Amino acid sequence: MASEFSKRTKGAEVKAAAWLGRHPGSILAPAAVTTAGLELGWITTGGILGGTAASLGAWYRAHPDTFDRFAAPRIRAWRRRWITYLGPRWRNALIACDLFTTNRKTGELHVPRLLRIRSYSPSVDTLYVKLHPGQHLRQFEAKLPELTEALKVERIAIERVKPRVIALVVERSEPFTEVIEAPEMVYDSDAIELTNLYVGETEYGGDWRLSALGQHLFVAGATGAGKNSVVNALLRGLAPLIRDGAVRLWICDSKQMEFAKLAGIAYRYACEEGDCAELVEEYVADMQATQRGLADQGKRKITPSSVTPLNVLILDEMGALLAYGDASAARGLKRQLALVGSQGRATGHSMVGLVQEPTKDTVPVRDLFTTRVCLRVTSAAHVDMVLGENARLRGALADEIPNAPETSGIGYVIRQRSRVPMRVRAAYVDDRELDELVEFVRAGWRGAGLRVVA
């Protein structure tokens, strides 16, 4: 870059030296091979290199799990750095999208530099980019569609990492091309980790897991988006606990079909408007009774067991539920859900709310939910309503998920300790597997007496 006093730019040899300084491996690796060749002989050096390659090959074949976890991301990142995004391709794409600065005196173009590439999964790369003075994340956000085309990728999300460094999360292809199988049901309650239940897969190739303890789950998605699969996958993970009475299901099934199969294993089940309101009232009363019990024993929270069960209130189509009846009934329901949202975590009273449209009826209660999932939605505005401000800008393009059966169960969550959206797909629990869940629970039922409010 030219200084403010000179119109001359830095010499090419200085730039080359700076580049080598930033990429010491490009000197050290050939230097190490040459030194080894001269010191140990070329045959020995060839043998060492061949042996290393053969060991990697053997690792790849023998232990796919550890190789994919530890070696593959590094090898892929290296390949992407030096082959996919090398030099002109990156530079030309940024210039084509006007994402560069120009030195006023020398006219030299400064294209933001790629600092680092990470490739956690075969379909996603994270590019760390150093901005030039005068550039801002906003310029990249505004040019995301153009950059996506210029780099010939599916989708790009963006995040500020630190001053003058941003991360571009590049989805190179759709990671979910196959339906994910329903979670296996384990027999033993002790084998279940309530805070770590498998519900599907993430775009990084890992498990998508949710906690059923101390969390309230909100799932938004247009009709057919696959909302039920998130809940059903979770319930299969909880199956032995439901059977043993350590988890109690309270179900408001206003559509009277989605969860009808589960009525047989629910602690409470209701589908009529008035009955649903009664069920929620009873839920709050149960929560308050548990609070009193905890206070008497001087405890602050429960440990789920058949004596002090974890309660899960499932509210299908919350929008309709909150719009039922007169405004004061809806206000009452909101108030009760607010109580569960704010006080239920310690007493083991969780909520799972499903909505088709996260509109003004459900948005006020949305903030009560600690975990939110946005499947395919019908409007761009819905994405931020569900996942929080700027989630869509950061790449949660849930409104652009095609409305096709093969995309059901695909959506976004916000990664913990980060504001980056992550594409996920819920495992699919079909009717047979749902029947299997019901049979499994009923076969060894040790829960409290069932009562269907209907």
Ligand X SMILES: Nc1ncnc2c1ncn2[C@@H]1O[C@H](COP(=O)(O)OP(=O)(O)OP(=O)(O)O)[C@@H](O)[C@H]1O
Which range, of 77-85, 263-271, 290-298, 405-413, touches ligand X by CB under 6 A?
A: 405-413
Q: Measure Cα distances from 170 to 120, 132, 153, 177, 362 in Å.
A: 11, 21, 7, 18, 32
Say which amino acid occupies 230: V
Which range, of 21-29, 279-287, 331-339, 401-409, touches ligand X by CB under 6 A?
A: 401-409
Q: Does 222 appear as a known binding residue? A: yes
Q: Does 264 appear as a known binding residue? A: no
Q: CB 407 → ligand X: shortest distance, Å?
A: 8
Q: Does 221 appear as a known binding residue? A: yes
Tell me, by CB under 6 A, how many residues bind ligand X.
16
Q: CB 9 → ligand X: shortest distance, Å?
A: 55
Q: Phi, psi at residue 352, to the nearest 5°?
A: -125, 115
Residue 256 in contact with ligand X, rule: CB under 6 A: no
Q: Does 162 appear as a known binding residue? A: no
Residue 33 in contact with ligand X, rule: CB under 6 A: no
Q: CB 404 → ligand X: shortest distance, Å?
A: 10
Sign of CA dihedral 323, 328, 333, 334: positive
Say which amino acid occupies 379: S
Tell me how far the alpha carbon of residue 143 is from its chain's centroid: 24
Q: Does 9 appear as a known binding residue? A: no
DSSP 141-186: HHTHHHHHHHTT-SEEEEEEEETTEEEEEEE-S-S--SPPBPPPPP
Q: CB 440 → ligand X: shortest distance, Å?
A: 20
The structure tokens listed for 160 are 């500020």
Nearest Cα neighbor of 397 from 374, 415, 419, 417 is 374
Residue 356 in contact with ligand X, rule: CB under 6 A: yes
Helix (H) or strand (E) holding 118: strand 113-121
Tell me whether residue 166 or residue 401 sits nearer to ligand X (CB atom): 401
The contact mask relative to ligand X for 217-246 (x = CB under 6 A, - = no) is ----x-xxxxxxx-----------------
Say which amino acid occupies 400: E
Residue 358 in contact with ligand X, rule: CB under 6 A: no
Q: Which of 428, 437, 441, 447 binds ligand X (CB under 6 A)?
A: 428
Q: Does 225 appear as a known binding residue? A: yes
Tell me whether residue 126 or residue 407 sits nearer to ligand X (CB atom): 407
Nearest Cα neighbor of 286 from 322, 312, 263, 265 is 312
Which residues sit at the interface with ligand X, rule CB under 6 A? 179, 221, 223-229, 258, 356, 405, 408-409, 426, 428
Binding-site members are 221-228
Binding site for ATP: residue ranges? Answer: 221-228
